[in-house]
Structures are given as C-alpha cells and as structure tokens.
Structure 1
Amino acid sequence: MNNLRDVWSSRFVHYISEVQKYMQFIFTGHIAIVLVFLVGAGGYQYSEWLKVVSTDFPAQTLIAVIVGIILAFSRPTTLLREPDQVYLLPLESKMPQYFKKALAWTFWSQVWLVAIVYIISIPLLKAVTALTTFEIWAMFILIVVLKYLSVQGEFSYRYSARGHFIWGDRFIRAIIFALAVYMGLHTQLVLAFVLTVIACVYVVVFRKKCVGEPVPYEHFVKLEQNRMMSFYRFANYFTDVPHLHGSIRHRIWLDWLYKFVPYSKGNAQKYLVFRTFIRTDDHFYLWVRLTAISAIIVAFVDIPIVVWIVAAALSFATTIQLKQALLSGGDFRMDMLYPQPDNSRKIAVQQIVRLAMIVQAIIVGLCGIMQPMFFITILVIIIVSELTAKMTKS
C-alpha cells in the first residue's frame, strides 16, 4: 500500500462486497413484496390522515424532536481491524487522512435516513404550517449541514473521550439539533443560525481536545466489531452466517413454559427443541421480532388485503427460518447417546414450530381485533405456516 488512502480503499471494497453478499439474501422476493405493500399502505394511510389533520397539530415540534434524535446518532464507520492496534502505530501521525475518508463515508451512508424522514414530513408541514417551499428546502439544507456537524462531533468526542459517556454527548447534540430545527421551522432563522454556530463550537472544542492524543484504536476497533456483528445478526435472520454463533440465555422468567412438555421418554426431543428455541437468542428474537412487526401492521393498517398479504409473508418467513434453524446444528447433543427414532427430532421441530406459529397467530389476531374480519388474519397465519412447514425440505 502506498498510503493510508489505499488502505481505506481496499477495505471499503471488501466491506461493500461483504454487505452485498448478505443483502441479496435479505431482500428476497417475499420481503420485496412485503415492503411494497407496507410502503403503499403506509402512504395511503398517511395521505388520508393529512386530509383530516388539525391545523393546530404540533408538526414542527414533532419533526424537530425526531430529526434531532436521528441526527445525534452518528456512529463513525472506520473499518479498523484488531491488528491495526499494532501495525498502524508507526503511521499514527498520518491517520487523519484515513479518518477523513472514513468520516466522508459515514456522512454519506447516514444522511439519507434523516433526509428521507424530513422529505416524508414535507406534506405534513404544508398541511399545517404557512412555510413556503423555499423555507422548507432551506431547512433541508440546514439538516444536511447539522448531520455533517454531528458526524464530525461524535467522532471527535469518541476520539478524545475514548467513547466514555457517549450517551451524554448524544443527548447534548440532540437538544442542540432539535432546537435548531424547531427554530428554523418557526422561521426564527437568526436563532437557528445561532444554534448551528453553537453546534460548530461544540465540535471544534472536542476536535481541539483530540490534538496530541493517541489514536484510540481499541475503542474504534471494538465499535467496528459491534457494528458488523449487529449487521451479521440481522442477516442471520434471513440466511446462515457461518461465523456467527448465537448466544444462549437462561430466561428464568420463561421456565414455566417447560411444564407444557410432559415429562416422558417420548418427549425427550420435544423438550430439547423447545428449550433450544426459548434459550437461543437468534431463534427466540427472530420469532419475537417478526411477530411484533406483524402485530403492529395488523393493529394500524385497516386495509384487509394488505394485512393478509403481510401476515402471510411474515408467517412464511417465521416458519421457514425457525424450522431450518431448529433442524440445523450438527454439533454433538446429549440425545445422540440415547436410542431415539431417526425422525424424532424432525417431528419435535414440526410440533414446536406449529406451537410457535399458533401463538403468533393469536397475538397478531388480538392486536387486530378492532379491524374488520380480524379472524381471517389468524387463519391466514396458521394455514400459511402449516403449508410452509410441510412443503419445505427437512
């Protein structure tokens, strides 16, 4: 490598290829269909609500708070690795050129989120405020500027404070940004400008504290490892990530559930599979997350056909992933020491998955009890899960 820019470039290419490799499994056909229906249903509900929204609705306050919180979360993407703590020490004086590239990517990879949130809020602003088009888009530029300051500010704070009390730093920045956006949306441009200057001063203060400080490799490496691990855990809900092993938790508060599996020799596999499902984070949180998403959609979307399609898609996703997860695992298990029929584990997995999907159907149905024909949603979940369990390979 000629310089640290080349180091960044090579790592960036590897990082993008790694993300793309798993993204193709995340955004599959059924997920794309769910997203299309979610966006369509959400847009329809939003447009209908805008027709009846009151003119005294606190749109500016709500938008300022949401945008301020999103702006404050600006975790830097450095792509640093554990060996860098040793091998990059001789190049520490040249690390600013590496971090310049890293912060540029951090800004462009995060600014789209706050931009989308603000753009979605523009129809609401036009419905309840007297802001002109110029003022609305001027605020958009201000938000982009604040995002740049937030990225620089969080990096400088982490650099100087080694990441300690980062939530305090984020809280302060969230307040400053929210107030700046609030004042801007109330056409108090002078106050918005003053708050932006305060944000600049805040960034400069911590940037000066970085001068002469050694690069906190350990903190940035740990931060990068946690960030990638979060991505791998998310990807693991859609496909198998070989180097990811789910953690195990006791979950004492769910021990009472084991009583539903009667104590007998014939239930050995069923008990083992059920215990695996409850205690393994990947399996348990997969079911909880997809059940929660389905329940929220059913509770707030009053378009029956959309609700049924989304519930069916999430039921399919939950069933197929739970079945594959519980059937996998070629590691040694204690049940291998005892004479059990060859298909006992498959039968046990099918029973546990069926039980989990019935519970999901009941929870989702109760959340949509105020919606028309809510009982059809329960039937859709149960039927789709049964068909998926029987038609997929064991």
Structure 2
Amino acid sequence: MADFFSQRLQRHQKHMMRYLRYVFNDHFALICTFLVGGLGLYYSELLKTLPQPFRLGGWIVLLLWVSVLPIGRLATLTKPADLIFLLAKESQMTAYLKRALRYSLWLPFGVLFLVVGASMPLIVVSVAVPFSYFPLYVLMMWLLKTSDLYLQRLHLYQDTSSRCKRQRIIWVLVVVASISSSLWFSPWIGLLLAVGQVLWFGLVLKVPQQLLSWDEMIQEEQTRLHRIYRFINLFTDVPQITAQAKRRKYLDWALHWVPKVHKNTYLYLYLRRLVRGGQYGGLYVRLTVIAAGILCFVQEAWISLAVGCLFIYLIGFQLLPLANEFQYMVLTHLYPIQAEQKNEAMKKVLALLLFFAALIFAVIECFTLTTMSQWALTAGGYFIFTGGFLKLYMPNRLKKMNA
C-alpha cells in the first residue's frame, strides 16, 4: 500500500503541476516581488521605531504562531471509488496513511519556516532572543504540527470523535505552553515540550483497532482539494469548480441605472454576472478588501502608491476573463450585436470597478498619509494608472483573448 500511495502521489503532483504554471506566471511573480519587497521594507522601518523591549511583540508572535499551526490538512489522496475498491485492503491502510502523514508534513514545514523567519526580527526586538535560536523555533513548530497531523489521522477512524476532542484540548494547551515558554523563558523548554507531545501522541494516538470511516475520510480529502482548486480558480478555469448563480434580489438596485436598450445588452449581462455569480464579484470584493487592509497600515506615500497600483492591476487582470464568459452560450451568438459593442461594454464595466477601487484606496490614504501633497500624489497616481490600464493594456489583452 505504500507503493500504491507513491503512485497516486505521482499522478496527483503531475495533475497539480499543470495548474501551477498558470498560477506562478510572470504577472503573479512580479506582483509578489514588489509586494513582498515593499512590505519587507515597511516592516524593517517599523521595527526601528519600536521601543526595546517591545513587550506587546511577544503576544503578537504567540497569536500569529498559534494561528498558522492549523494550516495544512492530512492529504490522504483518497477518491470516492476507494470506498468500493480499497475496502478489501482496509487492514493494510496503516502503511498508506503513514506515507500520507509524512507527505503532509512538507507544506506546513515551508509555511512555518517562512512565518518563523519573518517573526524573528520582531522576537529579537520584543524578548531579546538572538537569531541563532531560529532553527529551534522552526523545529518546535514542526513537531507541534506533527502532533496535529497525528490527531487528524486518528479522526479518520470510527468511534474516535470524543477521544479526538479530549486530545485536541491537550494539544492546544501544549501548543500555547510550548510557544509561550520558548518566547519568555527559553526556546529549549518549548522544544522539549513539543518533543514530549509528539512522543506522547505517538504512543497514545497509535493506530487504533477500529475500522476506518471511509465516508468521512473521502469527504475530508474532497474538501481539502476543493480549497486548492478555489485558489487556482483565481488564475485559470478549473473544471472541478462549478460556478453557482444566486438571485441576490437585494442588489437589483445596482443595475437600475443601466438603460435597457439594444447597445447595452452585454453591459447588462456582464454586470448581472458580477452580481449573481460568486466568482468575479467575490474576487473583486476580496482583492479590494485585502488591498484596503494593507493600505490602512502603510504610511509611506511611495509604498502606498506601489501597493495600490499593483492591486488595481491585479483586479483588472483577474476580471478580464469576464469578457469571454458568454462565449459558449448559443443564445448570445443569435444577438445582432457587433464585437465592438461587446468590447466597449467590457471596458465600461472594468472602468467602473477599477475607478471605484481607486477611489476607495484614495479615501483610505486621506487618513493614513501625513501631508496633503503626498495624498494628492498618491491618489492621482491611482487614477492615472487606472486610466493607463484601460487605455493601453486592456485593448491589447482583449485582442489576444479574442484572437
């Protein structure tokens, strides 16, 4: 069964690699480079202004580390058909799940490595711990995550829910105790507590004699994959994600201003798709809220300008596929409408959304920037960049999409 998991893992990775090349494209890499660089510079400048010792910093790190530990689910890679075809191999599933647990440790390790690394400067300022303790913190967090995956594996068996709840309480208490002691006493104490928890869970949470809960195991895996597909769907179409239309009658007022005439056919269709569908409308709201949240904490004008322009570009780039949303609907090809009207409708929709986002960013900067000249420069930059995107980038992009 261990070899069977390796074969299934190989097919799963090959399947995911086909999508990841669309996720980590040039645009996404460029945005991440500027965003990470800008936030890193702002973070370093902020640390210089903090008093030493900054006692609140330890509590911030504690809350952050406790929050990131649940990231990463047990990847069993099971499929609905396994309920029938692997049921006869249930006695051999122990080796399969052991390999699944090992594989599930790598993604959390990468996330924890980055989070702990980003937190180290704040730890040095807050609790005066040297950078040399960084490997101890990473190892402690990884061991705590390992015990969490032990609990997730135990939950896959029948009649273990009450037992899992009791052990989950113990896990939370040990996590808080380990992180707290490593921050305010010694990293070695936190590491010893994490090692003790892994050893304890390895003995107490050993593979039980109960039968597997196949339905729950398959459902957990499908839920995990659905989260991944939802993220990938932000960059490209995923067949596993099906869009669902919702009536949302309370938003009908937003479309009353559109005159119901022949030339506004696609304008109404695009706006109705944004209102009723969760894919594009939800994407616009999420990106706008994230950008607004970041700008609330940025007080440098040029960083605010860069972050705002990057998110305006990202919003526009992600909404451009809306232009071909009705391409495969038969009725739309029966409309006596020219292609130019379709492109003009798309330009109006994007202009409305992007200028509204730029207005929100400008209003936020009115409260975060110190001088009026900085605000005027930043707000003007938002609107100029939006106009350039609509006039220069968007027509060429639509031409390539329609080619």
Query: Which range, TM-score by smaller chain?
Result: 0.7 to 0.9
Query: Could you tell which deviates more after superposition, 185-194 or 31-40?
Result: 185-194
Match of 2:290 in 1: 293
Q: Is the 8 A contact 1:316 1:384 kept in 2?
A: yes
Match of 1:227 in 2: 224
Aligned to 1:368, the other structure's residue is in SS state: helix
Superposed CA deviations along residues 155-192 of structure 1, whole A, max 9, x for unmatched, are: 21343468799999767634431232112222166687
Match of 2:256 in 1: 259
Aligned to 2:55, the other structure's residue is in SS state: coil
For 2:343 and 2:361, locate their aligned partners in 1 and report how far apart those are by CA, in whole Å. Answer: 27
Offset of 1:90 from its aligned partner? 0.7
Alignment pair present for 1:386 and 2:387: no
The residue identity in structure 2 corresponding to 1:186 is W
Query: Could you tell which deviates more after superposition, 237-246 or 185-194?
Result: 185-194
For 1:173 and 1:387, locate their aligned partners in 2 and report how far apart those are by CA, in whole Å. Answer: 55
Q: Is the 8 A contact 1:361 1:378 kept in 2?
A: yes
The residue identity in structure 1 corresponding to 2:315 is T
Within-5 A mapping of 1:69-80: 69-80=67-78
For 1:296 and 1:107, locate their aligned partners in 2 and report how far apart those are by CA, in whole Å. Answer: 31
Q: Is the 8 A contact 2:179 2:190 kept in 1?
A: no
The residue identity in structure 2 corresponding to 1:91 is K
Change (3 A) 1:109 1:56: closer
Match of 1:374 in 2: 378
TM-score (norm 1): 0.86
Query: Could you tell which deviates more after superposition, 134-143 or 234-243?
Result: 134-143
Offset of 1:368 from its aligned partner? 2.3
Match of 1:53 in 2: 50
RMSD: 3.0
Match of 2:106 in 1: 108
The residue identity in structure 1 corresponding to 2:229 is Y
Within-5 A mapping of 1:43-192: 43-54=40-51, 55-132=53-130, 137-160=135-158, 173-187=171-185
For 2:139 and 2:198, locate their aligned partners in 1 and report how far apart those are by CA, in whole Å. Answer: 15
The residue identity in structure 1 corresponding to 2:236 is T
Offset of 1:197 from its aligned partner? 4.1
- Give identity over the alignment, percent: 23
For 1:263 and 1:331, locate their aligned partners in 2 and report how far apart those are by CA, in whole Å. Answer: 23
Match of 1:312 in 2: 309
For 1:234 and 1:166, locate their aligned partners in 2 and report how far apart those are by CA, in whole Å. Answer: 29
Query: Could you tell which deviates more after superposition, 96-105 or 229-238?
Result: 229-238
Superposed CA deviations along residues 116-173 of structure 1, whole A, max 9, x for unmatched, are: 2112211222222233556554343222211211111222134346879999976763
Correspondence for 2:347 among 346, 350, 364: 350
Change (3 A) 1:155 1:337: same
Match of 1:38 in 2: 35
Q: Is the 8 A contact 2:140 2:190 kept in 1?
A: no
For 1:139 and 1:120, locate their aligned partners in 2 and report how far apart those are by CA, in whole Å. Answer: 12
Structure 1 gap ranges (5+): none
For 2:290 and 2:28, locate their aligned partners in 1 and report how far apart those are by CA, in whole Å. Answer: 13
Match of 1:241 in 2: 238
Structure 2 gap ranges (5+): none
For 2:356 and 2:318, locate their aligned partners in 1 and report how far apart those are by CA, in whole Å. Answer: 16
For 2:140 and 2:317, locate their aligned partners in 1 and report how far apart those are by CA, in whole Å. Answer: 46
The residue identity in structure 2 corresponding to 1:126 is V
Offset of 1:342 from its aligned partner? 5.0
Relative contact order: is structure 1 or structure 2 higher (C-alpha 8 Å, sep ≥ 6)?
1
For 1:340 and 1:80, locate their aligned partners in 2 and report how far apart those are by CA, in whole Å. Answer: 48
Match of 1:282 in 2: 279
Superposed CA deviations along residues 32-70 of structure 1, whole A, max 9, x for unmatched, are: 122111221122112112212122432222212221222
Aligned to 1:238, the other structure's residue is in SS state: coil
The residue identity in structure 1 corresponding to 2:211 is P
Aligned to 2:3, the other structure's residue is in SS state: helix
Query: Could you tell which deviates more after superposition, 81-90 or 172-181?
Result: 172-181
Superposed CA deviations along residues 2-43 of structure 1, whole A, max 9, x for unmatched, are: xx1222111111221222222211122222122111221122
Q: Is the 8 A contact 1:294 1:310 kept in 2?
A: yes
Offset of 1:297 from its aligned partner? 3.7
Change (3 A) 1:386 1:164: farther
Superposed CA deviations along residues 374-394 of structure 1, whole A, max 9, x for unmatched, are: 212232123223322222214
Superposed CA deviations along residues 205-225 of structure 1, whole A, max 9, x for unmatched, are: 5x35x6232212222222222
Correspondence for 1:218 among 207, 215, 218: 215
Superposed CA deviations along residues 225-268 of structure 1, whole A, max 9, x for unmatched, are: 22222222222222233453222222344222112213344433
For 2:103 and 2:7, locate their aligned partners in 1 and report how far apart those are by CA, in whole Å. Answer: 14
For 2:183 and 2:46, locate their aligned partners in 1 and report how far apart those are by CA, in whole Å. Answer: 21
Q: Is the 8 A contact 1:180 1:196 kept in 2?
A: no
For 2:161 and 2:232, locate their aligned partners in 1 and report how far apart those are by CA, in whole Å. Answer: 27
For 1:291 and 1:74, locate their aligned partners in 2 and report how far apart those are by CA, in whole Å. Answer: 26
For 1:169 and 1:339, locate their aligned partners in 2 and report how far apart those are by CA, in whole Å. Answer: 66
